[in-house]
Structure formats: C-alpha cells, structure tokens
Structure 1
Amino acid sequence: MAIQLQPVKGFRDLYPADKALQNYVFDKLKAVASLYGFENYDGPILEPIELYLGKSSKELVEEQTFKIKDKKDQTLVMRPEMTPSLARMIAQKANQLVFPLKLFNLGLRFRYEAPQKGREREFYQADFDILGTENILADAEILAAAVNIFLNLGATENDFVIYINSRTFVDRKLTELGIENKKDIMSCIDRKDKISREAFLESLKKASLNEKQIIDLVSFLESEIKPQDDEYFKKLFNILKRYGIDQYFKINKNTVRGLDYYTGLVFEAKDLSGKINRALLGGGRYDNLVSAYNPNIKVPGIGFATSDVILLEFIKIINKAPQLNPCPTKYLVTIFSQETLNDSIQILNKLRKQNISAEIYPDTEKKLDKQLKYADRNNIPYAVIAGPEEIQKGIVKVKDMKTGEQKEINISDL
C-alpha cells in the first residue's frame, strides 16, 4: 500500500512560509501577554477523561475528543482545551501560589471536529487567565487584553466586535420564567445564532418548555439591552470606557458559551465581514471550577482562548497578513572551489562571531551562478564572493541580491 503524502485530516504540514506567518501571530500573542503582565505556564497534553466529565460540555467530551487507552486501560484525552488542566493545577498547589495570578499558555490542542475555515483538529491555542479575584476590574482587564490582540494584528473597530453577556443575568431570567433545566436551555441558547429560528424553537420544545415559557424566553433574548439597564453591565462599561475600549463591545443575550463551567461574564469576538462563521476568541468567568477539583478551596477565575488557525484566517480576510521571509540568513558565503573552501569557512565564522546570520553553500561542486540563484530564490539579501583573486588581495565582493550592486570589502573589515 502506497504511503499517503497528505497529512491526517484536520492536521497541518507547516512549510517555512506557513511557519513564519504562524510565528508572527505567536509573537503578537506573546507581546500582549507580556504587556499585560501574564506569566507563562504549561501542562500535560494528556489528561484522564475524568478531568473533563461534568465540567466541559457533553458534546466536547463525548464527540470532539481524541481518546487513547494506556496499558492500564485508563482512558486518556489529548487536551481539547486548557482551562480544566489549569484549574487542576491551581487546586493542587493553591496554598503555595500568590494570588491574584495572571497566566498565559500557548500550546497544542486537539478536537475531533469537522475541519472548515478557521478550524482544524490540531491547533495552537492561546489562553489568558486571571485567578484569585471576583472583582469586576479583572473582567475589564481580561477584556482589554482580548481587544489588544486584535489591535496588535492590525484590526480596527470596523473589523471585529466582542459580544458580552452574563450567565448570572440570563440565569436570573430563567428562574423568573420558572425554567428548571437551565443547563439544557443554556445549550439551546448557545446554538441560537448558529441554527434557523424554527430549529431553535423546536429545540426549546424538546427541552420541555411550555408555549408561554418559549414566547417569554424568545422575547427576552431578542429584546435590546443597554449597559445602564443592568448594574453589572453599567459598572463594566464605565471601566471599559476608562480603558478607552468600550466601542469594541456590545451586549448580546444570545452569547452564553457552550462550556458548563462558566458562571458570570461570558464573551465572544466575531468577524464583522461575515466571512468567518465562528468566534475569533471566546471566554468567561469560571468561579467554581477550581472548587470542583478541590472543594476545600475557592479560587475564582476568568479567562479566554483563541487559536492560531482562526487568527491566521482573520488577518488574511482583513488584509493584514504580512509578506514574511522565512529565511533568517543575511549573507550567503559562496564557495569558489575546493581550494578556497577553508577561506570561505573562515569568512563564515567571522560573520557568525559578530552575531550575523550567515550560511555557506553546502556543495563545493556547484558553480557560482547556481549558488547566487540559491541566494536569490531564498531571499538572502547578500552574497559574499571570495575567489582566488579576491583572497590573494585580502578582499571579498559583497553582492546586493536585490540591486545587483557589488562592493569590494577588506576581509578584516567584515
């Protein structure tokens, strides 16, 4: 059977140009984390399935995880998200940590979903979290970091919006309507903007709501709300205004997020062009998750996550994906012949000792024009030419590969 040359469905081959663009996004994410004071951490790629049961959504655990069995027949999951791992880590060493904590992770995640625009089965995810405080300022700070990611990537107010809501706010309304199966209804609301109106109404019927409850719930979800209509939103928008970022946010009562551990604030960033049908970024407050792993402690948290796949798609759509040269080499040192190889190596070493990125053409049999074509095709800015005549004079010729101009430089001045 012939070996398949394509990667496994939903997984990616990243050639140098692709990796350079991915690293560009990574650098932007890391810059925001550093600017806002988030510390790096990491956790295992494999976790026992029990870590997610009853915390993450049923759909995520049962249908979207890559599972393996170890030699003791324990079911392990390739991490589909980071928050449960983080909560476990906090629960394990809460007495040794200094709160509040601001943590950042950038690493691989795996979800068995249908690959589409902005979604793969293997992806890098960036998580930003603040733990140890329920204060509304932490909510504003995490939202400010989210906005700054998009601004750092070159986006403007015309490119994205962050929809915010409060699960506490929605939960109160469900109580007023006499709805008891709140978990099921939250799942229905989370799908509202992703399905037709008829399908949404049918899902509410299947969730055992009566006709009046359905009418009242739909009326609530589709009615406009302004920040001043709710005390929490009023306070939050006042702080966001002080940050100078309130214009990037809108309250959307349909935004509830699909994960079961969210409690208060929830939010999602959306592409305003309409070309990406899923959230660019999402998160919320999870004040009880750490306690689920250690009931003797309470460590509230809030955070969000985004992926390299969705951000790469986004910057392409808004025409902010830069043209990058994946080759780090500044100088190609050519080899004139086997006899001059030692001189070429000495020139190479001299450049590298000055912390100048340089490489030598790795074939002593190729002619000079072949070596110069290599430099040109790899966007190497300069070629160093050292033939017998140049070496005898103690000079080299440095060729600008863009203009074709050549300059003679003393080897001692390199």
Structure 2
Amino acid sequence: ESLASSAWQALARGQVPGAKLNPVAASRVYATLAVADYRAVQAVENGEGEPPTELLPGAGLGRGGRERLEAERGAVAGASAVVLTSFFPGSSAQFEDAVQQQENAGPGGPHPAFVAGEELGRQTGQEVVAAAATDGFSVPWTGTVPVGSGYWFSAGPQLNTVGGAMLTHTRPFFITHGQFPPGPPPLFGSQEYLTALHEIRQISDTRTSEQTAIAIFWAMNAGTITTAGYWNQVAADAIDAHGLTEREAAHVYALLDATMFDAAIACWDAKLTWWFIRPSQADPGIKLIPVVGLPNHPSYPSGHSCSSSAVAEVLSHFFPDQRAQLDAMLAQAGLARMYAGIHYRFDIEAAVGIGRGVARFAIMADASGNSVLTPH
C-alpha cells in the first residue's frame, strides 16, 4: 500500500479475524484507527508542536513537498501504532516494526519530518484512545428482554444475552441516541406481516445455490475481517483508483468508519425499541444456512443494511462516479440477509433509511469543520 493510511487499515484487517471480533467490535476498531489517523494528519498540517517552517507546504519536491509527505506518513504511523496496540497489545512489536519500515522507506533513511510527524501522531493516537476508553462500549448492558408474542428471544446460552446491546449506551461520533428512529415494523400477525414472513419462507423453500453463495459471502461474521473491513477494502480500491493524497485518503476512512459505527448505534437503538422476532423464530420451517447462522439480536432493522447503506452514501459522496456500483452492492447485501432466512424485507428497507440518514447527517457535520474529525 503506497498510502500510509491504507497500509495501516490493511494491518488492522489482518488483526481482526484472529481476534474473533464480532462485526460491531471490529467496526469500533476500524473507526478509532481512522479517526486518529485523520486527526494526526491534520495536526501535522496545522504545524502543532513543530516550528512552522519545518512543515510548510511546498517546502520540497512534488505536491506539498517531501517534508509534508514524510510528516503525514509519520503522523499516520505514530497514531496507528498507538491505536492498534491498545486493541491488540499482543501484536505491539509487529506495529512498531511497521513504523520502522515506513520510517526507513524513503530515500536516505529516516527523514526528520517523519520523526516529527510520528511524535505528533502518537500524541494524537493517545488522545483518541483515551476518548474511546470512556465511550461506554465496554460497559455491560443490564436491561431486560421483553417476553411475549412477536418478540425476539435469545438463542444464546444465556437467555438475557443480546448481541451488540452495549451500543444503546455507547457514545456516537456524530449523532445522538434516538435521532434516527424508523417507523414501527408491521404488526405481528397482521396480513402485512404474514406476507413478509411468507416471502422469506418461499426463499427458504426454493433457495438456489447462487442465493446460498450470496448469503455466505455477505455473512462476514466473527473470524473474518467483518462487514466494516470489507467496505474498507472497497474504499481502499477507490482511493487507489482515484489517486488520492494521504490527507484525502485519511479523510475518506475517518468519515466512512465513524459513520458506519454511528449507523450501527442508530440500528441497535431501534432493535432494542421494537424487539422484533426473527423470521425463523416465527416460522421454524424457515431453514437457516449453518455458516451464516442466526444473529443473537432482534430482527428489525437489519444491522448489515444500516452499515452498508451508510457506506454507500459516504463513498458516493467522495466518489460520485461509483454511486451505481455502490447501490448495487448495497442491494445485494440486503438480499443476502433475506436469502439467509434471517431478515424480512421490511428490516432491510427500514435499515437503508436509517443508514442513509445517519450518513447525510455525518457528511454535513464533517463539512461544518466542527466535528469529532476535527482536532480541537
């Protein structure tokens, strides 16, 4: 990876599968990393902690000068090493080796601007890690699961376990809790509901090998790079194809990953409002796909589609030429969950509204220049 931010995101994707992080926990890792990297690059540009002459744009060769380039790479390396070590302490030596390799990659060995940028990056990384430590994510959820007709019930070993429930008290990056509530799902037992349930039963009864393959591709459970990691790879390809600078790339990752995490928060706020039953719980004749499984949280709305619709909106903002392709991927991601027998169509439709709404809000917040992505 020629860009430092892309290289460090790839390093993060290398850590997530072995750590068996679930999609929500993995999304938080990618977001914390991306926000730290982007803020570190901006800190370097602002010349914080360094004589202004050291990091002046145009002080060397090429676009922005060698100093600027090295300082940005150093800032990303320093911030990334600190953030990833906080999540994966057992791999700290690997992260420090990566910093050293990047430091020595330029002609003539370590550049003073890289070293200065790295120091600033580590400082920024520590600030972002400290903020993440107080976001509430590690605080256990202590609510109770309602019981009754049409309510979801836990398939986990402990009956009151709800996957991702801590999101309902985790601090978002841009939004506030309850800001993007969907309307209610169809009334359980109503004709509208039974029609939606029948659609999933029909898919299950006639599931093709292609539908099964699509469901498995989009599963991206713990033990993989997860959904957020996959979308980061899509972003990396777009960044590369469009020839973005380090600052531009770091901006894409930060807005993308922070928005994805916020979309998950908005999604779980709704899941734990409606507690809606999964299709296969309402009709045990609906066959699941073993490698996909049944996520241990309520059906409405779909977490995959909340995140993926937020991605489609953010990446289309940066790469408008790819909107049609991104929307097609989003549509397939939604259908995949129906093919797997784990979501109704209305779960997907509500989720897309949430994800796009969160993304548009985040894009506006970012454009204001006064958001969590801006160093204060």
TM-score (norm 1): 0.22
TM-score (norm 2): 0.23
Higher relative contact order (CA 8 A, sep 6+): 2
Flag the structure with larger Rg.
1
